Amino acid sequence: MYSRRDALAMETDHTGIDTSERHKYSEPKHLGNLNFDNTYSRLPEIFFQEIAPKPVSNPKLVRLNTNLAKELGMDPSTVETRDLDILAGNAAPLESKQIAMVYAGHQFGNWVPRLGDGRAVLLGEVIDTSGARRDIQLKGSGPTLFSRMGDGRASVGPVIREYLVSEGMAALQIPTTRSLAIVTTGELIARERMEPGAILTRVASSHIRVGTFQYFYGQRDDEAIRLLADYSINRHYPNAGENSNPYVEFLRSVVEKTAELISSWMLVGFIHGVMNTDNSSIAGETIDYGPCAFMDAFDANKVFSSIDTGGRYAYNQQPAIGLWNLSRFAETLLGIIDSDKEQATAKAREVLETYWQTFEEHFHFGLCQKIGLEHNEENLSLAFQLLDFMSETKADFTNTFRNLPKLITAPEAFNAETDNKLKLSDKFSDWSAKWTAKIAGEVKSVDEALGNMNKINPLFIPRNHQIQRVIDFAIEAEDYEPLEQIFSAVTNPFGENPQLKHLSEPPKPEEEIKQTFCGT
């Protein structure tokens, strides 16, 4: 069925350039010491468009993630002199087959039958120093078949946001795609304002999405779905392949990973912003940082995204949307789970019904950990009471949890650090006395318990107003020193650092960022 060359790879993009011509613009060269493999591009051509990035005029490396470069097996000292052309899309890595992946998706609940990488090119896969297979992708690398009349570019603002937030998430030990490098292109991009163009080098365990499966489900192509499922199982969930029904076990694995991921978001006050099915990774990683944000003042209904006018992806809606997305994923697998549709539906529903239990186990355990206590019903109730007080007083989510130990060690410092907001709640003093007594009575060592709280409650998160400051300096002055400061803070989120203490502070009223934007 797929031995032919599919028409998808023969089209021209909206620039009018035949995609085969893109490959004539540059000579292949090595990217560091990396050896590229291309297992995804060995799938049939209906899964992607083969296309090279569109060259840029004046590339400049403004930020390299040296630790990540070392994890990949690169020599950071030679990247700028030897590898800049590849990171800018002006040259292709040797042994790389560059592709844009096709997928579909539900965007704010609305079905779109074909989306795909509209501004990204997958260079290929490498095996890192730990033996893990990882995708290397350029984001903002020019138009593809899937650009839908967009320019295929990225501006420096969203690239900086994704770089800081994704690396901050990694430091918080939350599964995520990673950011290797920021390269400016020497060109201006029109968004809310004219901004310098930029390319992000993104690293992921893969870029396969719920929407990837949905594309072939929309085509009613169970053969392609089976190929994609077999590939995904082999790459991400090899244990599922040993099950009597590997596709049921595959679904179970994705459900579990997604439930755990979203519970992790909730525990740090993270709001993804666009939880469309095309932004939902089957590998259980946070992917596609657009109008994302961490909450300052706690508000369970908080929305940042400028396009989420109905609050579909509000903070407290994320768990339910996770299940909704997984239900769409399960639909795509029914034809390969069982030839009997009723049997397939029953098997898939049984797996989906485990979602809430998995989510709640991780979220409730994590909430109790955040207040230094073991997970039981009484302690969980105490944690939820604290959230209620925080909501009533608009207390800062991150700083409240971080400073809880000071209720015992330095009560006046707690009041000062939390801006006295919780002190205004009449009920909070009773809560404080009850929590303090539980810490004293239930833990083996108070000092150890309080120390453990500081290992899971971050001091530093990528705060919206600070990210915006970095972006403004980059656009208006080409000054990336503020980026370096925030990167240092958010990649060491649990450690005290007096020199960066100001980066733990919530925004003043005039600094508050009330909306974030996709940047497309």
Give the active site residue among 117, 278, 288, 419.
Answer: 278
Angstrom distance (rounded) from CA 402 to CA 382: 16
Residue among 26, 27, 9, 31 at smallest CA distance from 18? 9
DSSP for 198-260 reads EEEEEEES---BHHHHHHHHHTT-HHHHHHHHHHHHHHH-GGGGGSSSHHHHHHHHHHHHHHH
- Angstrom CA distances, 390 to 25, 162, 294, 465, stand at 56, 28, 15, 21
Residue 318, SS3?
Answer: helix
Angstrom distance (rounded) from CA 372 to CA 403: 12
Tokens 């730990």, residue located: 130
**What's the token pair of residue 20?**
């085969």
Angstrom distance (rounded) from CA 398 to CA 505: 10
Do the Cβ atoms of 139 and 154 come closer than 8 Å? yes
Angstrom distance (rounded) from CA 410 to CA 457: 18
The number of angstroms, rounded, from the C-alpha of 159 to the middle of its chain's C-alpha atoms is 13
* CA angle, residues 216, 219, 224, in degrees to nearest 5: 40
- Residue 430 annotated in active site: no
Do the Cβ atoms of 139 and 160 come closer than 8 Å? no
The number of angstroms, rounded, from the C-alpha of 271 to the middle of its chain's C-alpha atoms is 10
Do the Cβ atoms of 152 and 119 come closer than 8 Å? yes
What type of residue is 101? Answer: M
Residue 188, SS3?
Answer: strand
Do the Cβ atoms of 426 and 258 come closer than 8 Å? no
The size of the chain, in residues, is 520
Do the Cβ atoms of 267 and 490 come closer than 8 Å? no
Query: How many angstroms separate the first and last alpha carbons of the chain?
Result: 36
Active site residues: 278
